[in-house]
Structure 1
């Protein structure tokens, strides 16, 4: 029997695995743990504490923190009171935090530390309570400004006597969260999602994806503020009794992978792209023998993948797909190449899920070739989030998979993907106009251009608003070009510009962790990122890499100029969203003068690129 709400979902796991570790996290260099039963008890205490503060049905409780046990405790505690959690990315500046708090009518905010509390205090949001997870030594507790420990203590002393009876009455239609969109093209909207939205999406995903098991161990490094991580990396593992380990940060992911040795990993494409670029860079700098062995092994892996993709289902079930002589070659390739890459990811991964953006097909094919299945999916915050995903048995590289069995998808006349079903949002909070504009009847406009192939697999081409129409009449999907450019280890992010222009140009943000050591080895001693990016050999390097990675594209899809940006694009400085996507409007506005200057120069020939660099061009 299906659970009626998220609390019931978790409680079933607690009853099955009370003494099993639910969460692992690092404090003072050592991993801590909490069992499912202790996690449940702390949710009870936190819920009772919030209840004592006056939090009740449909009250809004914001969570402004990196992922840690208290994030999830707050989320479930609020949900048990029929209250509504409002996740806020901890990387957002104070003015954006204030906007979200006001937009969602937040009464209480749970913050990670004093830095996050200061953001709340700096804004003009009218909140009643601030609860701090990790208060500093100078922290002074008051009735409306207390520590998370104090909240739980209050709850322990004032436990809700009928708490279980209360949460058991919550049905699937109850609003549980308001998640604000990333705002890549304007002000974020608050997406209203119910218990049923999440539960229906989880039930559909379990039909297609890697089957999570109680003995699995996942590593969570994406913020729980992100709907993809919250559903696939948190709710789903907790629903089956899997143990979740939290990475310390994105910067320590490589170290944490080796420490934890997860069996399943969910990620946005950028992590997979960086691992791929690092491996290729190492091979390019290796001996001819090493390169030959690597290429042979990859070709063996690709052949194995293609055999699986094209094999009849009965052969897959019986395990009769691979001839014995081929398997001998594959085992040699596994020992010489695949195992070395797997070791860098902890050595135990049996499957990975990519979401939150389009994965480059070359990257996906590489991981399948080395026997690390990577299942790409597609979805939106508005759909809780998964719309399509590749099934484990029939994953097709270059697509985002098949439509969830409880959803309907159709392609509009202009190519836009439309979706309807039980995981589609209730609407945008306090914005009836935006909600009305998002739907055609019960069909949700996704804002993405896509197509269904002959096997009904969906391929996403680009965001509808991002399709560039050149003055020559050619339509350009920038995402394909940016994905190709970003494959290189010297390039962190890129942005293609060219709407209503004769040709496209490419703004490139280098991967300074890779570029700076290379520059030093080549005699560039400057400490200024701007000066380094202006140096001729750096400009030549980046230009050559862009040419190399776009050589197979149509002529009108090849950037005719490359502009190197001599400063880092970050979430904190506003160029990136918290899920590391580029904010197109922000970057185009910030570098408006530089873009105009690039186009004002003489038009380059098709065989020549021009490169510029800037450090904070406004």
Structure 2
């Protein structure tokens, strides 16, 4: 079923050509796929390659700022015209450095103009772009490089360079390393300036020849999964996957051309950030501002107030941190001011009626609440111009969503995967249901199969956004994508009567007890976190066991340099402790477990147990771990998704004590 019948035939009408093909998936790096172009509406939109996509924006918005980055305290701006020119220049350098068609350029660094330019230059040169998580170990970097036959590595600085130097001897295709910030101190490593100079010296002829070989229905980008369920797989995305998905989402969200701005801070090796920051901005002629590398350690708030973006996409942890900061400030208010905020928030919740389907209604008092509270809150956060607020990549607590709604900030969720080129269903401010991941926009297809008595089943996705397959993995490709092009997500969910999608679990995460009961852990874990605001992470245990137990971690402060969780409790955990009569300041003090704390946690879990639909779904035992889950600890992936297999391995001895 692999689409590679034309290896011996040359197709030289690129970059906007389609290679004739009758299959919808492939695992061959040189393969092609048939595009699911519809007869009408957005699904019939003419396909376009990534190089033509950028050229069109450069022609349409030549003097609009495309990229902006703060270096040495000064914002440096790059127009769309200059952006296009720099991509072509670097592509010529890549060709001169020997980049072959379908071989990769791996990019390892924090979000920056150089990251975007390297990514697109690899595609222009006929290669494949591969974003690599900055949190990856050298061994994980080596896996990405070997799988993709990477010939060039573009690294941010000495820290990332050191990882590649450690594995250089194990990378058979590697020919060039480029460091884009600072001056390389290692012989043979090229600086950004040297590579751009090299590109400027080359004629356009070879680049044009490479562009002619590009086809819209072939792979141009690999997204490596974060490895939450094992070794990362390379998801093959075609030109059409990226450009069509950007077009379809821009139309659906009603964004304005030449007038939008985003802040780029989520990992660009993840498809959500590439789609929002790079491709949708490119389509709209929007401006992408790059946050500081320590954005998630505290500086994002400053950048938000400085830039005042019109769109903000964050993972749940970003919204949780924002929530914690606001509530901390809110709790300092007294008297009339506190009463005013409480009243205004009730108006905000009434305005965001969770059962409505159309634009929210404005209850009596809304203009006053808006003037005295909502506008001021948004301005203080840097969100006064923002009209799209999205939580992506992992489930977010309904309580956090509701809190933002009470401040007239319409936070909604999206659902998608690397294999669906990012967003597939999306909640909009004009149409949302709390707890759902929104509805399926025109051109995208969603269906639920093998539905149980409660209406839950596996979620299948379809459309031109569905990936080509997994690089060099025939069995995995055929398991994930059927012959009709439907992506079998492995996620469990349901659609309501209005088409809103709700995620209720994941097939591989389903706990099957010794008694044979199937239990989705996420709803139970979310319920525990809602009842116990001191809890940061929790994981339900019970697969092949006689009863359910749970691992808990507390919200703590974080080492801003390493990302390691500290022993000191975070404000939300401190406040909860005080509320139940404990003076604990650290996790270690909590682990001494005074009667007050034991009772309070037990009571919270019992409140969750009261909602259990069967005795088998009740949590019988629990324990607080001495350290929160984290990326450095290995329990969380780069987008803060829990790696359950890692938690099971690390805390196996604790788990066994539950069942001794």
The interval holding the TM-score normalised by the smaller chain is 0.7 to 0.9
Q: Does 1:335 align with 2:371?
A: yes
Q: CA deviation at 1:225?
A: 0.6
Q: Does 1:536 align with 2:573?
A: no
Q: Which residue of 2 aligns with 1:612?
A: none
Q: Quick check: 2:130–2:221 contact (8 Å CA) kept in 1?
A: yes
| C-alpha distance in structure 2 between counterparts of 1:42 and 1:541, whole Å | 62
Q: CA deviation at 1:537?
A: 7.8
Q: CA deviation at 1:129?
A: 2.8
Q: Quick check: 1:208–1:389 contact (8 Å CA) kept in 2?
A: no
- Pick from 399, 405, 412 the counterpart of residue 375 of structure 1: 412
Q: CA deviation at 1:88?
A: 0.7
Provide, for residues 480-506 of structure 1, a one-character-per-residue CA deviation record: whole Å limited to 9, x for no partner: 233344456533322222223343333
TM-score, structure 1 normalization: 0.87
Q: Aligned ranges for residues 416-427 of structure 1 at < 5 Å?
A: 416-427=458-469
Q: What is the SS of the residue equivalent to 2:111?
A: coil
Q: Quick check: 1:278–1:489 contact (8 Å CA) kept in 2?
A: no
| C-alpha distance in structure 2 between counterparts of 1:307 and 1:591, whole Å | 39
Structure 1, 260-269 or 530-539: larger mean CA deviation: 530-539
Q: Which residue of 1 aligns with 2:274?
A: 230
Counterparts in 2 of 1:391 and 1:257: CA distance versus 1, 3 Å: closer
Provide, for residues 195-229 of structure 1, a one-character-per-residue CA deviation record: whole Å limited to 9, x for no partner: 00112212221232241442222111101111011
Q: Which residue of 1 aligns with 2:652?
A: 592
Counterparts in 2 of 1:307 and 1:59: CA distance versus 1, 3 Å: closer
Provide, for residues 406-429 of structure 1, a one-character-per-residue CA deviation record: whole Å limited to 9, x for no partner: 232221115111122211111111
Q: CA deviation at 1:150?
A: 1.1
- Pick from 423, 444, 464 the counterpart of residue 507 of structure 2: 464
Q: Which residue of 2 aligns with 1:613?
A: none
| C-alpha distance in structure 1 between counterparts of 2:656 and 2:424, whole Å | 39
Q: Which residue of 1 aligns with 2:538?
A: 494
Q: CA deviation at 1:27?
A: 2.0
Q: What is the SS of the residue equivalent to 1:440?
A: coil
Provide, for residues 322-367 of structure 1, a one-character-per-residue CA deviation record: whole Å limited to 9, x for no partner: 57xx35x012222343234323430322221222122333332332
| C-alpha distance in structure 1 between counterparts of 2:163 and 2:345, whole Å | 49
Q: Which residue of 2 aligns with 1:357?
A: 394
Q: CA deviation at 1:382?
A: 0.6
Q: Aligned ranges for residues 397-412 of structure 1 at < 5 Å?
A: 397-412=434-449
| C-alpha distance in structure 2 between counterparts of 1:394 and 1:98, whole Å | 44
Q: CA deviation at 1:299?
A: 2.5
Q: Aligned ranges for residues 3-402 of structure 1 at < 5 Å?
A: 4-123=48-167, 124-134=170-180, 136-137=182-183, 139-142=185-188, 145-161=189-205, 163=207, 166-167=210-211, 170-248=214-292, 249-251=295-297, 252-280=299-327, 282-283=329-330, 287=334, 292-306=339-353, 309-310=356-357, 322=361, 326-327=363-364, 329-346=365-382, 347-402=384-439
Provide, for residues 505-557 of structure 1, a one-character-per-residue CA deviation record: whole Å limited to 9, x for no partner: 3322322127156499976677xx54664453895498279549847732755
Q: CA deviation at 1:67?
A: 0.8
Counterparts in 2 of 1:538 and 1:166: CA distance versus 1, 3 Å: farther
| C-alpha distance in structure 2 between counterparts of 1:138 and 1:195, whole Å | 33
5+ long unaligned stretches in structure 2: 1-44, 452-456, 558-567
Provide, for residues 155-179 of structure 1, a one-character-per-residue CA deviation record: whole Å limited to 9, x for no partner: 0111423645753763321211111
Q: Quick check: 2:184–2:190 contact (8 Å CA) kept in 1?
A: no
What is the RMSD computed on CA atoms of the aligned residues? Answer: 2.9
Q: Which residue of 2 aligns with 1:432?
A: 474
Q: CA deviation at 1:117?
A: 1.7
Q: Quick check: 1:484–1:549 contact (8 Å CA) kept in 2?
A: no
Q: CA deviation at 1:230?
A: 0.3
| C-alpha distance in structure 1 between counterparts of 2:241 and 2:622, whole Å | 44
Q: Quick check: 2:354–2:432 contact (8 Å CA) kept in 1?
A: no
Q: CA deviation at 1:194?
A: 0.4
| C-alpha distance in structure 2 between counterparts of 1:335 and 1:406, whole Å | 39
- Alignment length (residue pairs): 585
Q: Quick check: 1:305–1:369 contact (8 Å CA) kept in 2?
A: yes
Q: What is the SS of the residue equivalent to 2:569?
A: helix
Q: What is the SS of the residue equivalent to 1:265?
A: strand
Q: Quick check: 1:539–1:564 contact (8 Å CA) kept in 2?
A: no
Counterparts in 2 of 1:322 and 1:90: CA distance versus 1, 3 Å: closer
Q: What is the SS of the residue equivalent to 1:25?
A: strand
Counterparts in 2 of 1:287 and 1:211: CA distance versus 1, 3 Å: same
Structure 1, 394-403 or 336-345: larger mean CA deviation: 336-345
| C-alpha distance in structure 2 between counterparts of 1:385 and 1:332, whole Å | 39
Structure 1, 550-559 or 181-190: larger mean CA deviation: 550-559
| C-alpha distance in structure 1 between counterparts of 2:234 and 2:659, whole Å | 38
Q: What is the SS of the residue equivalent to 1:306?
A: coil
Structure 1, 201-210 or 258-267: larger mean CA deviation: 201-210
Q: What is the SS of the residue equivalent to 1:192?
A: strand
Q: CA deviation at 1:308?
A: 9.2
| C-alpha distance in structure 2 between counterparts of 1:229 and 1:356, whole Å | 10
Counterparts in 2 of 1:239 and 1:480: CA distance versus 1, 3 Å: same
Q: Does 1:480 align with 2:523?
A: yes
| C-alpha distance in structure 2 between counterparts of 1:152 and 1:539, whole Å | 60
Q: Which residue of 2 aligns with 1:609?
A: none
Counterparts in 2 of 1:497 and 1:213: CA distance versus 1, 3 Å: farther
Q: CA deviation at 1:285?
A: 6.3
Q: CA deviation at 1:90?
A: 0.8
TM-score, structure 2 normalization: 0.82
5+ long unaligned stretches in structure 1: 601-618
Structure 1, 238-247 or 398-407: larger mean CA deviation: 398-407
Q: What is the SS of the residue equivalent to 1:403?
A: coil
Q: Does 1:553 align with 2:553?
A: no
Q: CA deviation at 1:184?
A: 0.9
Q: What is the SS of the residue equivalent to 2:119?
A: helix
Q: Which residue of 2 aligns with 1:604?
A: none
Provide, for residues 565-611 of structure 1, a one-character-per-residue CA deviation record: whole Å limited to 9, x for no partner: 222422233111111111100011100001111333xxxxxxxxxxx
Q: Which residue of 2 aligns with 1:605?
A: none
| C-alpha distance in structure 1 between counterparts of 2:599 and 2:183, whole Å | 49
Q: What is the SS of the residue equivalent to 1:505?
A: strand
| C-alpha distance in structure 2 between counterparts of 1:349 and 1:66, whole Å | 24
Q: Quick check: 1:227–1:385 contact (8 Å CA) kept in 2?
A: yes
Q: Quick check: 1:180–1:190 contact (8 Å CA) kept in 2?
A: yes
| C-alpha distance in structure 2 between counterparts of 1:322 and 1:380, whole Å | 33
